[in-house]
Chain A
Amino acid sequence: MIDAVSPQWTIQEQGGTLLVRLKGVWKLMLLHEERQKIEKKLAADLDSKRAIWDLNDVQAIDSAGAQLLWRLWRNHPPLRLDCSPEHKRWFERLDTLDLPPRPPRPLWWPLIELGKFLAEFARDTGRAFLLIGQLIVDLIYSLRHPRRMPWKEISASIYHTGATAIPLLGLVSFLVGIVMTIQLAVELEKFGQNLLIVQTLGLAILRELGPVITGLIVVGRTGSTIAASIASMHLTEETKALRVYGNTPSQRIVLPNVIGMAISIPLLVVWADFLGIVGGMITAKVRLGISYELFLERLPVAVPWINFWIGMGKGMLFGLIIATVASHFGLKAKPNTQSLQQETTNSVVTSLALILLLDSLMGALMTNIGLS
């Protein structure tokens, strides 16, 4: 410290009681080791005798200094205390200090939490249905009044969810195609059924992997963005401003995203299918010696077209789910940072769970379609 005069004290004995005089600067907040030494030494010097305290020569004292003295006095004002009124304020405050403990959790808090969770879940489900209803109303309204259809926002949504996802999605699908083929090739070679790779890979990618990978990537890229951006619009009161001008968040933000994703995700699925198969085809030639001509000739024969449409349908369904779920959690967020984080996470987790759940349901129900 610059003008530090270290804390000092002198003690005199006066007929059974001690007179303690303090001097110097008693700013102890940032003096970490010294503070403990001072407290020990002063306590030892006092030897738990009653004392009169003279703080008139103290140049400055901070809350840590005052608190240290207060603790030495065992949380009571000493026999007599001489000090300036400003310094006295510290001790008066400490004397009347309330220290309420952190409110304890009641024993049955798990029950309360469970109840809260269930109530919240029920409310969430209700709200989600309301949102879907609202979307249908908005859609019908917009179709009847095409000028009020949020065309620009739909186009922006297609660009943001679709176009910007192309590089990443392409890379991931290409790599999945390669990895799948490498691993299947080992087994197929054992049975000498090299050509089966066309059928296996084609079915897997068109029916399952294409739409699911697209869904997962869009959830991570766009679902989280939509939830967070709607939630942060609550923080800045933009959602209210929309309402003031006769628009609603569901009309202006949710509907365009739902329509946009229903269009862009099937298109992304086509892209994912394409690169997945290209990846597989290249690997099949290198690993199994299947020429491109043979691969392409076998593909439409071995994998019925219907599988492609199943994949596209799944993609569209996933798009609807991602956009609705993300908007739902974004709209439900409260205007604070903690709620924003929580609802963004909730939206991603719920979308992923719903996508995988629906995918396995459809997989189980449609075993007799498109699988020869």
Chain B
Amino acid sequence: MDEVQKNKNIIAVKKLTTRFGRRIIHRDLDLEVRRGEVMGLIGSSGGGKTVLMQHIMGLLKPASGSIELFGEAIEEMTSEEFRHIALRWGVLFQQGALFSAMTVFDNIAFPFRELKKYGEGVDDETMRQLVFLKLKMAGLEAEDAWKYPAELSGGMVKRAALARALALDAELLFLDEPTSGLDPIRSAEFDSLLLELRQEMQLSALLVTHDLESLALLCDRIAILDEGKVLATGTLEEVARLDHPFVKKFFETRPGEKRLRSIQH
């Protein structure tokens, strides 16, 4: 593979196999995400979407296969190299995963303070400004900085977690069901926030979701995970036309939607 091709992909998963005991989660799975692209990942619950994401982030070791991030294979990295490359991505966990013992400010400042332990990072005054900047970008009020996660609503937790994920100006975002547990209005707001930030910060992202709205609004391409493999990748139109039972069920108009539409007309 030539250099250009390599650099085009921000994530490249090749022949990944995962086994939990006897259960096989992924079987020779391939997935490529291009630089600057938002890739949606869909699949049935328990189908290994989150596990795949954890493999890519280096939180879980696959049984076999290789994973390249920013054009570099993570299996061959030393822990110091991996630490450096991990600074270039941010993660939004499903439940936010804010540290409950810390204020929102300290949560967002956490990545900066971790960097400081290595003699890197920015001085305190700059950090303070950057933390409030990220807070603002995530759509939170400056006063929210001194609250604890327990005092925040569900939508605010997601926003604070997004601010932390973006603290170090990540180039790549991992979003694990960013809109789950939010009401439709909040989740639409969160989607448009993600869209805005994506354009502004030239983000690439891997997005796990069940939310058709997020898929339609945010994703350039969609990968369908089924039976341990990526069944297909393509734009929303392309994958929606696929002739496959899971895909058909997923994109089929649901009875509730039909009824809603009949009310609106």
**Residues of chain B with a CB closer than 8 A to A98's CB:** 132, 136, 142
Indicate if the CB atoms of A93 and B100 lie closer than 8 Å: no
**Residues of chain A with a CB closer than 8 A to B200's CB:** 86, 89
Q: A32-B120, A97-B136, A338-B100 are in contact. Are A67 and B169 (CB under 8 A)?
A: no
**Residues of chain A with a CB closer than 8 A to B216's CB:** none
Is B232 close to A, CB under 8 A? no
Q: Count of A-B contacts with CB under 8 A?
A: 69
**Residues of chain A with a CB closer than 8 A to B133's CB:** 63, 67, 93-94, 97
Indicate if the CB atoms of B146 and A99 lie closer than 8 Å: no
Bound form: Cα–Cα A94–B133 in Å: 7
Contact of B168 among A2, A29, A94, A103 (CB under 8 A): A29
Bound form: Cα–Cα A63–B145 in Å: 18
CB distance from A83 to the nearest CB of B (A): 13
**Residues of chain B with a CB closer than 8 A to A334's CB:** 150
Q: A60-B202, A98-B142, A99-B142 are in contact. Are A336 and B100 (CB under 8 A)?
A: yes
Is A123 close to B, CB under 8 A? no
Is A3 close to B, CB under 8 A? yes
Is B190 close to A, CB under 8 A? no
Q: A2-B71, A102-B105 are in contact. Are A62 and B150 (CB under 8 A)?
A: no
Bound form: Cα–Cα A63–B131 in Å: 10
Indicate if the CB atoms of B129 and A100 lie closer than 8 Å: no
Residue of B nearest to A342 (CB): B101
Is B154 close to A, CB under 8 A? no
Indicate if the CB atoms of B126 and A64 lie closer than 8 Å: yes
Is A168 close to B, CB under 8 A? no
Is B74 close to A, CB under 8 A? no
Q: A94-B133, A99-B132 are in contact. Are A29 and B169 (CB under 8 A)?
A: yes
CB distance from A35 to the nearest CB of B (A): 8
CB distance from A70 to the nearest CB of B (A): 8
Residue of A nearest to B112 (CB): A29
Residue of B nearest to A27 (CB): B169
Indicate if the CB atoms of B169 and A97 lie closer than 8 Å: no
Residue of B nearest to A98 (CB): B142
Indicate if the CB atoms of A71 and B126 lie closer than 8 Å: yes
Is A4 close to B, CB under 8 A? no
Is B110 close to A, CB under 8 A? no
Bound form: Cα–Cα A100–B104 in Å: 13
Bound form: Cα–Cα A337–B101 in Å: 8
Is B230 close to A, CB under 8 A? no
Is B49 close to A, CB under 8 A? no
Is B229 close to A, CB under 8 A? no
Is B250 close to A, CB under 8 A? no
Indicate if the CB atoms of A2 and B120 lie closer than 8 Å: no
Indicate if the CB atoms of A67 and B129 lie closer than 8 Å: yes
Q: A29-B169, A30-B88, A336-B100 are in contact. Are A94 and B145 (CB under 8 A)?
A: no
Bound form: Cα–Cα A60–B201 in Å: 9
Residues in B134-149 with C-beta less than 8 Å from chain A: 134, 136-137, 142-143, 145-146, 149
Contact of A99 among B70, B101, B120, B128 (CB under 8 A): B128
Bound form: Cα–Cα A218–B126 in Å: 51
Residue of A nearest to B199 (CB): A86
Indicate if the CB atoms of B122 and A64 lie closer than 8 Å: yes
Query: Interface 1/0s, chain B 188-208, versus A by CB < 8 A?
Result: 000000000001111000000
Indicate if the CB atoms of A30 and B87 lie closer than 8 Å: yes
Bound form: Cα–Cα A350–B179 in Å: 42
Query: Interface 1/0s, chain A 85-115, versus B by CB < 8 A?
Result: 0100100011011111011000000000000
Residues in B39-79 with C-beta less than 8 Å from chain A: 70-71
**Residues of chain B with a CB closer than 8 A to A338's CB:** 100-101
**Residues of chain A with a CB closer than 8 A to B168's CB:** 29-30
Bound form: Cα–Cα A338–B101 in Å: 6
Query: Interface 1/0s, chain B 162-204, versus A by CB < 8 A?
Result: 0000001100000000000000000000000000000111100
**Residues of chain A with a CB closer than 8 A to B100's CB:** 336-338
CB distance from A100 to the nearest CB of B (A): 5
Contact of B145 among A32, A60, A100, A337 (CB under 8 A): A100
Is B247 close to A, CB under 8 A? no
**Residues of chain A with a CB closer than 8 A to B87's CB:** 30
Residue of B nearest to A94 (CB): B133
**Residues of chain A with a CB closer than 8 A to B231's CB:** none
Bound form: Cα–Cα A2–B3 in Å: 11
Bound form: Cα–Cα A71–B129 in Å: 10
* 6 A–B pairs (Cβ distance < 8 Å), ordered by A: A27-B169, A30-B87, A62-B169, A86-B200, A98-B132, A99-B128
Ranked nearest first, the 10 interchain pairs of A and B with the lowest CB-CB distance are A98-B142, A62-B169, A32-B120, A29-B169, A336-B100, A338-B101, A338-B100, A337-B100, A100-B142, A336-B150
If A64-B126, A67-B130 are given as contacts, then 11 extra A-B residue pairs at C-beta distance below 8 Å, sorted by A number, are: A2-B71, A30-B168, A63-B133, A67-B133, A86-B199, A93-B137, A97-B133, A98-B132, A98-B142, A103-B146, A338-B100
